[in-house]
Amino acid sequence: MTDERVADNDGQTVLVTSETALADPITTEVIRHQLRSAAGQMRRVVMRTAFSPVVYEVLDFAVGVYDDDAGLLAQAPSMPMFLGSMDSCIRAAVEAVGGRSELAAGDILVYNIPFGSGAHPQDVAFIMPAFDADELIGFAGLKGHVGDLGAKDIYSTDTVDMFQEGLLLPGLKLFRKGERNEDIWKILLANSRAPRTISGDMNAWVGAVRTGAAALERVVAKHGLEVFRAAVDRIYDHSESHVRRFIEDIPDGRYRGRCKIDRDTRSDAMLDFEFSIDVEGSAISLDLTDAPTQAAIPINSPRPQTVAMARIAIASLAGAAETPDEGYFRPVTVKTRERTIVHPVAPAPSFTYWVGSLQLIEAIHQALAPEMPERIPAESGGDYLVWVWWGYQRMSYQEREHGEPWIDGGPLPIGQGAQASADGANALMHIAESATRIPTAEVWEAKQPWLVEKMELAPDSGGAGHFQGGLGVDVRVRILRDCYYSRCVERTQSPPAGLAGGASARANRVCVTHPDGRMSEEAKGTGTFVEADSIWEAFSGGGGGVGDPRLRSVGAIEADLADGYVTPGFVAKWYPQHAKAER
């Protein structure tokens, strides 16, 4: 047959070639959902078998199945920023073991070099190839957080090079043809302060990638490799067409964005830089070549992470009520320059790699907002508010015979920015971590020597506007035993901005009040000793408002008061129409 363009069931025009014609639309949809099911099975394995609360409760991991060139076939709801960088991670790991020809059924690769993985060494990737007979058909991939891997501290915000950030795994065959390399396994456990815990987590990851690879092989066996690849091409083409149609709605031209990063642990100065976004037809290009020189502190974002954030920024706007695949990424290109904070090279530190790249998402959105006011919200709280606690003292009812430290951490939800026709959502995770979650108070208190005294929506934390920004949260925890505390909190100096006359929201803040009354409010810090009976408090930022606050309806203001979203003082400051209506 000759190539031709036809409309699919969503009304999008896609190119049908002699190759893609092998898979009809029904078969293509069946395969697409089978791939999503494969990724979902991987996710369930991890959640049901991992040892660490940060894995099975917070869901600080990502899983997906990939084609033989490391293109994303399907993902399960998990960390978007991990999935957006797994293609580079898989390619780097495969190259490190000698290339595709060196892969065999039953192999499992382990990799965590930041400049290939796009993350810090504690985010370890497990990768398993899948085969049809002897032909490589794809990979099952997982990247997840390891509680400790021998870094200078269990969690660090002050590293000066990559060697302080944990054991480096430059692409190794942890399993070779199904047999575990016990020497490598012993090295992994010997370099952890919590070998029992990470052994449990990594065994869960082995189970997950085996599950994903087997599911991928079953899909190909059922449909045949030729039909499978034709269906994958159609899946990618459909997704690409959807994103390109969105980009075509943006007027061609060059847009300028500005990325702002808070202070580090050694300076009160903010770091900010400009970048450009070029839109031409159905393609969009992000130019970050003017980014600052790579830093001597760990805010550097490895290029795979930078690319992942750009992908998230565009995919989140394009939307489709579907999980992305490789086709979503085709219209997006990212230009960087080596030895900058968005493209560092070894041995630059990158432990808090998300600090700068996370702000790219907000900056990209705000750069495009004037041209797309109906689709782009005001700024969100703009950060994860990452915190990690650990210690050796426990309560009498908590397990202690193994002698390892307890370790826990995670992100906190933030307020989302209002939109042109709706209030912002309350207390959701940042879109780069949108499938993670905050554990319940019961889990925290069962696993750690804590007493959770407050976890609630924060009144007045969203920006006022015709449509009001979403609320952040207030958390207060009493620390019952001596322990240690690291944190990395951004957007403490630049409150989330509103749009079209909407007000800014509350900025992020954390603090510890010690038993003697001293208060520590450093937003970034490593291994701070915290005495028993101290109070830890976190105040996550809200979302910016949209539109003149004087246009908000009195009925909406009354509903906000009734729900406790705002206080009378906030209403008196921002909404004079409410006082007039009461007269």
DSSP 147-207: S-SS-SSSS-S--SSGGGS----EEEEEEETTEE-HHHHHHHHHT-S-HHHHHHHHHHHHH
Collapse the DSSP code of 145 into the 3-class scheme (helix H, G, I; strand E, B; otherwise coil) and give the result.
strand
**Rounded distance, CA 495 to CA 244, Å?**
33
- Residue 544 corresponds to which amino acid? G
Q: Which two tokens stand for residue 255?
A: 């847009």
Per-residue pLDDT of the chain (583 residues), as tens digits, is 445 555 555 555 555 555 556 889 999 999 999 999 999 999 999 999 999 999 999 999 999 999 999 999 999 988 888 878 999 999 999 999 999 999 999 999 999 999 999 999 999 999 999 999 999 999 999 999 999 999 999 999 999 999 999 999 999 999 999 999 999 999 999 999 999 999 999 999 999 999 999 999 999 999 999 999 999 999 999 999 999 999 999 999 999 999 988 865 555 567 889 999 999 999 999 999 999 999 999 999 999 999 999 999 998 898 766 788 999 999 999 999 999 999 999 999 999 999 888 899 999 999 999 999 999 999 999 999 999 999 999 988 877 667 899 999 989 999 999 999 999 999 999 999 888 888 889 999 998 999 999 999 999 999 999 999 999 999 999 999 999 999 999 999 889 999 999 999 999 999 999 999 999 998 999 999 999 999 999 999 999 999 999 999 999 999 999 999 999 999 999 999 998 776 6
**Rounded distance, CA 293 to CA 411, Å?**
28
Biggest CA-to-CA distance, the chain: 81
- Close Cβ partners of 59 (under 8 Å, ≥ 6 residues apart): 47, 78, 79, 435, 436, 437
- Close Cβ partners of 115 (under 8 Å, ≥ 6 residues apart): 302, 303, 304, 344, 345, 346
**Rounded distance, CA 125 to CA 113, Å?**
10
pTM given for the model = 0.93
Could you state, in order of their start, the residue ranges of all structural domains in the chain? 4-238, 382-583
**Structure confidence at residue 1 (pLDDT):** 44
User: Is the alpha carbon torsion for 191, 192, 196, 198 positive or negative?
Assistant: negative
Q: 106: which DSSP letter?
A: T
- Residue 521 corresponds to which amino acid? E
Tell me the HSE value of 208 on the side-chain side, using a 13 A CA sphere.
33
- Close Cβ partners of 440 (under 8 Å, ≥ 6 residues apart): 57
Bond prior to 576 in cis (omega within 30° of 0): no
**Rounded distance, CA 309 to CA 329, Å?**
11
CA angle 441, 444, 445 (to 5 degrees): 85
CA angle 202, 61, 277 (to 5 degrees): 140
Structural contact between residues 254 and 276, judged by C-beta atoms closer than 8 angstroms: yes
User: Is the alpha carbon torsion for 7, 9, 14, 17 positive or negative?
Assistant: negative
**Rounded distance, CA 211 to CA 537, Å?**
40
**Structure confidence at residue 76 (pLDDT):** 92
Structural contact between residues 100 and 130, judged by C-beta atoms closer than 8 angstroms: no
Structural contact between residues 59 and 47, judged by C-beta atoms closer than 8 angstroms: yes
**Rounded distance, CA 386 to CA 299, Å?**
14
Structural contact between residues 310 and 362, judged by C-beta atoms closer than 8 angstroms: no
**Structure confidence at residue 2 (pLDDT):** 46
Q: Which two tokens stand for residue 286?
A: 């992000």
The residue among 454, 461, 456 whose CA lies nearest residue 535 is 454
Backbone angles phi, psi at 21, to 5 degrees: -65, -15
Structural contact between residues 81 and 411, judged by C-beta atoms closer than 8 angstroms: no
Strand 332-335 and strand 283-287: the pairing is parallel
What are the start-end ranges of the H helices in 326-479?
Answer: 326-329, 354-368, 441-447
Q: 405: which DSSP letter?
A: P
**Structure confidence at residue 418 (pLDDT):** 98
Backbone angles phi, psi at 412, to 5 degrees: -125, 150
- Close Cβ partners of 365 (under 8 Å, ≥ 6 residues apart): 313, 317, 376, 377, 379
Strand 473-479 and strand 534-539: the pairing is antiparallel
